[in-house]
Every structure is written in structure tokens, then in C-alpha cells.
Amino acid sequence: MTDLTRPPGPSLEAEGLAAVLAPLGAVLLSTETIATCVELVTALVQETIPGTTGAGVTLVDSRGRRTIAASGELVERADAVQYELDDGPCLESWRDRVPVQVEDTLEDDRWPQWSRLVAEAGIRSMLSTPLVAGDVCIGAIKVYSDQPRVFDQRAAHLLELFARQAAVLLANVQTLADARRTSHQLTEALHSRDVIGQAKGVLLAQGAADDRAAFAMLVSASQRTNIKLHQVAQEIVESVTARKAGGSTGAQA
């Protein structure tokens, strides 16, 4: 088995590698979606690491474990088997935060069921590296090959460099997405509060005893119709607005 702890050999040219990694450094300038980010990472990995048949990224978050980028159906199938079994090299790489290498799926017995199934599908070797950002492991990046013993120490080092860049980018993009989602939810909450306030004003004008009674009427209508509270309020406000508009039109006529 290849020793992943040895320093990179002289064939790894820093200047050439920097040129390959350069697009990753600028990805946030052109995209704000996780999908686009990992698609770029996956494409660069497949083009850069010799012998790669397919590459992919597994992301683990509140939505569970999923492959968010795959260069082909073979990668998706190999990953799907791991998720179904809850066992395999990529998941171990994520859980233990260590690089994991399979030199030949026909000989490796660490995950016998996974190895057998992916070997039948045509995968003979793989290499996986965790995506660690700060003190959090957010997933793993991996490469597959249809030939055994393809990935050497240089390939392991290259994948590690990609993983470092990708982890930072994914963490940043994920944080941005979370912030925007939170902002959107807050905006919706404020809008709902305003609409509910307007609807209570309508009910008060129509005879509701007080603010609490008006709110209770909205809640009762929501439960009775199985419609969300803010939607009930919105319908009340819109109906009053429509009547006023109709009255104004009639007066002009």
C-alpha cells in the first residue's frame, strides 16, 4: 500500500500546481452556490490526477450525507452504496478525518460488501481525503479508477491540496448560503408580523373586542381552514384592499 505520509516528490512543481489551483481561489467571485463550487473542484481534480476515472465530493450537513458533485454515474453508484451500507472508505475518511486509499477493490477486505459491489461495477481503486475547515469536517473528496494501484503518493498529495482549498471554499459558500437563508426567513417573519398586525386592525374595525380577541379570531380561522396564520391574515388584508379599490372605482364611475 502506498505510504501517504511521505513528502511529495520532485515531479510536483509548485508553479504548475498553483496555476491549476488558481481557479479555486477566485470561485467566490463568480459563484455563490455550493453546487457550482464543487463542480469546478471535481472537474479540476479529474483533469489533474492521472488515472482518474471519476471524481466526486460528499458533503455532510443537516440534510445528511449526499454526493453534491460527481463526474459520472460510476461515482454516484459507488457513493450510493456507501450511503446505503453506512460503510466505506469515503465515510471513514470523513468520520476519522484521515486520507483513505483502496489499491484494489478485489483484494481490500476492510469494507467487504462495498468492495465487492463496486468491483462488480468496474471500480478497482480509489482515494479519499477529508474536507476539514477549521475544527469541522464537512465531507470528503474522492477519486476512483477502473484500474488497480493507480493512485501514488503524488496523487495523494495533490488530492490533499485540493481538499484544503475546497474545504475553505465550501465552508465559506455554505456560511453565505446559511446567512442568506436566515436573512430571507427573517424578512418573511417581519412581513408576516406586519400582515398579521394589519389583519388584526381590520378585525378590530369590524368589532373585535381587543387586540387579543382579534388575534384569537385569526388563529381560529387558521385552524379551521388549515391555512397558515400569515396567509389567513394576508387574505383578510387583500379582501379589504380589494373592496376599497372597488369602491373607489365605483365612485369615479
HSE at residue 8, side-chain half, CA atoms within 13 A, is 14
**CATH number of the domain at 183-244, please?**
1.10.10.10
Q: Do domains 14-180 and 183-244 have the same CATH topology?
A: no
Extract the C-alpha cell encoding 49.
490526477
Cα–Cα distance for residue pair 33/170, rounded to 1 Å = 9
Q: What residues are paired with 142 via a beta bridge?
A: 56, 128
Is 223 in a helix, a strand, or coil? helix
The answer to whether domain 14-180 has CATH 3.30.450.40 is: yes
Cα–Cα distance for residue pair 21/202, rounded to 1 Å = 60
Cα–Cα distance for residue pair 112/196, rounded to 1 Å = 59
- Alpha helices by DSSP H, listed for 67-152, are 73-85, 89-96, 112-121
Q: What is the pTM of this model?
A: 0.59
pLDDT tens, N- to C-terminus, the chain (253 residues): 444 444 444 344 444 555 555 555 444 434 446 677 778 888 888 988 999 999 999 888 766 777 777 888 889 999 999 999 999 999 999 999 999 999 999 999 999 999 999 999 999 999 999 999 888 888 999 999 999 999 999 999 999 988 888 887 777 666 655 555 555 665 666 677 888 888 888 888 888 889 888 888 888 888 888 888 888 888 888 888 888 776 654 544 4
Q: Spell out the domain ranges in the chain.
A: 14-180, 183-244
